[in-house]
Every structure is written in structure tokens, then in C-alpha cells.
Amino acid sequence: MRIIKVEAIPVRCELSEPFGFAQGWYSKREAVICQIITDEGLTGFGETFGPSAGQLDLLEKFFRPLLIGENPMNIEFLWRKMYFAARRAFQSFIPMSVIGALDMALWDIKGKVLEAPVFTLLGGPTRETVTAYVTGHYFLRRSIEDVIKNVTEEAQRHVSEGFQALKLKLGLKVLGGDIRDDVKLVNSVRKSVGPEITLMVDANYGYTVWEAIKVGKELDNLAVLWFEEPIDPFDFDGYCILREKLNLMLATGECFAEYRQFDQIVDKRCIDVLQPDLSASGGITQVKKIADLALVNGLWFVPHVWGTGISMAAALQVIGSHPGYSLLEFDRSPFPMREEFIKENIRRAGSEVVIPSSPGLGIKIEDGWLRKYKYEGR
């Protein structure tokens, strides 16, 4: 069996209203979906992380020639081929998100060839379902008082839908606020949903170490489970300071691209939750190794999930093979394309999400879904 086609499909959704977080604003959602086709008619799917600019050309012009004619079953070999070709070509930059998308598609094909879900090929199954927590609660361009009110009402809706764990966004300085407003937001949600609901917070590296200490102590009083990316994710010494000063769990990883970055921060013993993104961190091949790193060091493995939904399916497969503690990030931020994908491919009852057990990633991609959101991309 050989790869005969590698296709890049740019997709985009314009949002009816921009939403923001500590680092800025989104007015649209986009990604590049990759499709690998074999000479036996099998197709695998993956997706990149972030804007399509640049990634489209890299997938089509740089990586495609590396894969055409290769056996898609040789995933570790192909991963290394792509990685080291990119290292030689770009030196200081490796486009891991494109490698991640292609790697997902290769695993999707391998599972279909062997008529098994990817979690079985990774050593599972370890579970049939996983507990999901909601990501959402972004900011609109309103007054801070209105934003706190809107976020609180959104949290209430998620609880009414059966979710028992919610992650809030911090960083109201993007609207002219300060850390006191961030604490007010969390306090408002806590009072609204009650003490039984689990809360996490994500500052998207919007604080200084001093600010993170001040906020973190307040969050501990509000029974927040973890404090995600309070500071620059590459400030490992800063995380060590936070670990000394704070009692609540610290989480990071969505900004890391390579295994060695996770290994370095784990070696510092300053992080409790590892959060690799299946696209941004090089796909299933590398994220499985990161999951094992979390396991042997007694840390939580909670993949970051964002995008069209394909990466959520990939995350579910890795979680399904992982015997350690894990949760699923269930993104509810505005993205019509993802909502359509989830409706057709992901089953949820309350806080529990079923891990798809069909061959490959366990998903079905409809041509109409792709055509609806495809755009020129250039």
C-alpha cells in the first residue's frame, strides 16, 4: 500500500461577533484539514492548529513530496522523515502543526487498515468514556460588568446541560480591567454554580509572576482546581516560583511543540497538568510519548483541544489508551463547523464523552461538511 495523494483543504468560519481572551480577539476561525489517500482507496484525516497562512503551502509544497509513494503504515519512520527534513530546511523553526495534521491522518489510515480504533493500536483500551470539562467563557467587547454577567450566565447554561467542570478565561486587562476584575469574574461564577461544580481558570500567559501569585491565592480560596498558563509558558523558573507560593495545581503545554519542552518542565517539578495539543505538538505519535511522560511522573494528562473537531477525535483516541488520570477539554467557544462535526461524531451524556471505537480516529467526514466551509486559502 502506498500514499498517492496528500490534499490540503483550508476551511474558515466568519464569526457573528468577535470574542476575546487575554492575548487578543478572534473574528474568524480557520484551519487546514489534510487528507491522505492511498492506492487502496483508504483516506485519513487530520487538521492543523491556527491560521492557514503558511501552513497550506508547507503542507502542499514541502511535506507532500516527502509522503507520496511511501507506505502509510510506517508512521514512526514517516514522522521522523518529516521532522528532520523540516529541521534541515528551516533550522530554527519546525512546523509541528503541519506534521501533527499529517500524523493524525496516517494513524487514521492505519486504524482503518487494521480495522481497529487508534486507541487499540496505542495499547488501549483503558476506558470507554472520559469526563469532559467545558472550555468557553470568552470575552465580548462589552463593559467589564456585562462580561462578568455574560460569562456567569454561560457557566449556568453549561451546568444545566450536565457539565460538572468548567474552565474560565482570565485577562480582563484586554478590556481595560485588572486582576481584581479577574477575581470578581471567578467569584461571580463560583457563587452562581455552587461549590459542587469544578472550576479551572486559564490566564493564557497574561500575568507577571507577581500578578499570578496575587491571583492564585484568591483562586485557591475559591476552590479552583488548576491555574492554567498564568505566565509565559517558557518561563520555567517563574513556574518554580509559583509552585513554591501557591497551593492549587498548575497546568501548561498547549504552547509547546516538542517533547523536550515537556521533558524540561517536568524535570523542574513545577507542573501538575500536561496539556499538549494534538495538532501543535506533532500529532498522535509525539503526544502518546508526552502522555507516557505524564504517567511515569505522576502528572495529569489533559490534551488541549481546539479546532474543527478532528483534533478532539484524535485526543479522545490517545486518552482512550492512557491508564493515568485524564480529562477531555470540550471546546464550546463559537465555531459552527466544530458544532456540526461534534453532532455527527461525538456522543456525550452529561459530563461523559464516549471514546469512538470505529476504525481509525472513529469519525466520519462528509464531503458536504468540507465543501460548506472550504475557502480559497490564498
265 in the same domain as 155: yes
Tell me, yes or no, whether 141 and 90 share the same domain: no
Look at the chain and report how many structural domains it folds into. Answer: 2
Say yes or no: 35 and 170 in one domain.
no
Cα distance between residue 101 and residue 202, in whole Å: 25
pTM: 0.97
CB 44 within 8 A of CB 360: yes
Q: What is the pLDDT of residues 279-320, one digit of tens each?
A: 999 999 999 999 999 999 999 999 999 999 999 999 999 999
Domain hosting residue 299, numbered range: 120-354
Catalytic residue among 137, 158, 304, 322: 304
Of 220, 237, 275, nearest in space to 253 by CA: 275
pLDDT digits over 194-243, tens only? 999 999 999 999 999 999 999 999 999 999 999 999 999 999 999 999 99
119: CB partners within 8 A, 6+ apart: 125, 126, 316, 317, 318, 319, 320, 321, 355
**102 domain-assigned:** yes
User: At how many degrees (to 10) do helices 283-296 and 75-90 cross?
Assistant: 100
Cβ–Cβ < 8 Å for 340, 63: no
Q: What percent of the chain has pLDDT over 70?
A: 99
Q: Are both 139 and 28 inside the same structural domain?
A: no
Do 11 and 89 belong together in one domain?
Answer: yes
Q: How large is the average pLDDT for residues 9-22?
A: 96
317-351 pLDDT, tens digit each: 999 999 999 999 999 999 999 999 999 999 999 99
Asked whether residue 378 is assigned to any structural domain, the reply reads: no
User: 75 and 9: one domain?
Assistant: yes
Same domain, 210 and 312: yes
118 against 376, higher pLDDT: 118
- The per-residue pLDDT for 39 is 98
Integer Rg of the chain from CA: 20
The pLDDT, as a whole number, for residue 161 is 97
Catalytic site includes residue 304: yes
For residue 85, being part of any structural domain is answered with yes
Question: Cβ contacts of residue 151 below 8 Å, gap of 6+?
Answer: 137, 139, 168, 169, 185, 188, 189
- Say which CATH number the domain at 11 has: 3.30.390.10
CATH number of the domain that residue 237 is part of: 3.20.20.120
On average, the pLDDT of the chain sits at 97
Structural domain includes residue 362: no
pLDDT number for residue 360: 98
How far is it, in rounded angstroms, from Cα 151 to Cα 59? 38
Q: What pLDDT, on the 0 to 100 scale, is given for residue 378?
A: 63
What is the reported pLDDT for 376?
Answer: 80
Give, in degrees to the nearest 5, the angle at Cα 162 between 158 and 163.
60
pLDDT of residue 314: 98
